Amino acid sequence: MDKPLDLSGKVAIVTGGARGVGRGISERLLAAGAEVHICGRNQPETLPASDGHQARFHGCDVRDAEQVDSFVNAVVAAAGRLDILVNNAGGAPATDAASASPRFSEAIIGLNLLAPLLVAQAANRAMQSQESGGSIINIASVSAVRPSPGTAAYGAAKSGLVNLGTSLAVEWAPRVRVNTIICGLVLTEQAHLHYGDDEGVARVANTIPLGRLAEPGDIGDACLFLASSLASYISGASLLVHGGGEKPAFLDAANPAQP
């Protein structure tokens, strides 16, 4: 197998690929030689780039089916193919579940579960028409597999996204592979909103077995693997990228530090 991580000639879409985790993913795919198309509601100040390759931006609200179809069709028309989709766009502000409005909850579930389905459907139509098929990677969160207080609707949506990936992997096989990355805590430009100042980030990092939060590029590396020929027999899988997880709270409670 010659250079299995070389994506030269491959065409990729990364939703929300201009910042945070999405930017790290875009940069890794670009560095591997892929042609990368990103989307968002607003034009970013800078575009992801690597080794002289730059991502191409398309305005698109991934919650709007017509905009999604137009976006994916435009990529296929321009590039002639679509090999990789990374459903990365998502997120949620912290909100108490008891007081969250129905409209708020619907918006969170729409962005984090229904939107990835819309984009995956459009990508699948293109990939099924190609002899080489394609790879779809959904970006989920550890909130999908453990309690998510303060972001309950988000955690429920991400849990649904994990299950969606297993179902699509069966329905769309053998031509299209579908996998999910379950991300742990990631150090992005918005980390302070969740973890506080530098001291807060350091305290959070100390709860992770590997001793640090993930960098966006760590998630990008996982995407690169799943999109490559090295993962040609991997579909319907969920890959935990969380630095070893979180230390169970009962351990500290049962063995408190001595003064």
Token couple for 50: 């690597």
Q: CA-to-CA distance for 135 and 229, rounded, in angstroms? A: 10
Query: What is the 3 state secondary structure string of 14-63?
Result: EECCCCHHHHHHHHHHHHCCCEEEEEECCCCCCCCEECCEECEEEECCCC
Which entry of 26, 105, 141, 159 is annotated as an active-site residue? Answer: 141
For residue 158, indicate whether it is catalytic. Answer: yes
Q: CA-to-CA distance for 21 and 88, rounded, in angstroms? A: 8
Which entry of 10, 26, 143, 158 is annotated as an active-site residue? Answer: 158
CB 228 within 8 A of CB 2: no
Among all chains, which residue has been given the structure tokens 């990936």? 165
The one-letter amino acid at 65 = A
Q: CA-to-CA distance for 136 and 218, rounded, in angstroms? A: 18
Token couple for 20: 């945070």
**Count of Cβ atoms closer than 10 Å to residue 19 Cβ:** 19
For the chain, the distance separating the N- and C-terminal CA atoms, rounded to the nearest angstrom, is 57
Token couple for 163: 């299950």
Which entry of 143, 148, 154, 235 is annotated as an active-site residue? Answer: 154
- 3-state SS assignment for residue 157: helix
Q: Could you list the active site residues?
A: 141, 154, 158
